Amino acid sequence: ARIVDADNQPLPHDGETRGELQVRGHWIASQYFRNDDLSSFTDGWLATGDIAVIDEEGFMKVVDRKKDVIKSGGEWISSLDIENIVSQHPAVNESCVIGVKHPKWDERPLLLVVLNKGETLTKDAIKQFLDGKIARWWTPDDVVFVDELPHTGTGKLVKNELRKAYQNYLTENSTETIK
């Protein structure tokens, strides 16, 4: 296994650098059945669609799906890492982080939160809860409280639907963003 950058160049196995996970081996298919599109295959490597880190000993940790990672100012922000931390707040029932358009940074995180019944919480309180747990530049530009989030039949969040609905949120709503 290896991780690569956007230009398909191998990245270091240092346990911190994030990149797209690629795998190869005798057990890995060289193409998809009845599909001539080889875009997922490069020089025998299969792009998994996962974002991962690999440490010096070769241990790998998948940190997000490529389609869900937020690309902000040339850096990757894991939506899953932020969601996992927000979900630890006792007032939060469920959360979802999506990348939305930003005029300077390309994309920025937007946090959607469903609160537990009877709970109240402010945007600032959630941002304070995240303080020190994630990099400052990972902090969502805004928090939107919603009654529910869309799910598939198997319970997975339908992030593509949310990205479409909120794609222009930051450009249409004046919020303080990182400089």
pLDDT in tens, 106-152: 999 999 999 999 999 999 999 999 999 999 999 999 999 999 999 99
State the CB neighbour count (10 A cutoff) for residue 132. Answer: 7
The domains of the chain, with CATH numbers, are 2-65 (2.30.38.10), 70-172 (3.30.300.30)
Indicate the range of 9-13, 30-34, 134-138 predicted with least confidence. Answer: 30-34
Flag whether pLDDT at 58 surpasses 50: yes
pLDDT for position 179: 39
Q: Are 24 and 45 in contact (CB under 8 A)?
A: yes
- Which pLDDT belongs to residue 92? 98
Rg (C-alpha) for the chain, rounded Å, is 18
**Torsions phi, psi of 29, nearest 5?**
-65, 150
Mean pLDDT over residues 33-55, rounded?
82
Q: Which residues of 20-48 are buried (b: 16+ CB within 10 A; e: fewer)?
A: bbbeeeeeeeeeeeeeeeeeebeeebbbb
The model's pTM: 0.79
Tell me how far apart the terminal alpha carbons of the chain are, to the nearest angstrom.
36
pLDDT at 31 over 80: no
Residue 96 φ then ψ, to 5°: -150, 135
**Residue (of 25, 107, 15) closest to 68 by Cα position:** 107
Q: Residues of the chain with pLDDT > 70: what percent?
A: 92
Mean pLDDT of 146-160: 95
Tokens of 164: 């479409």
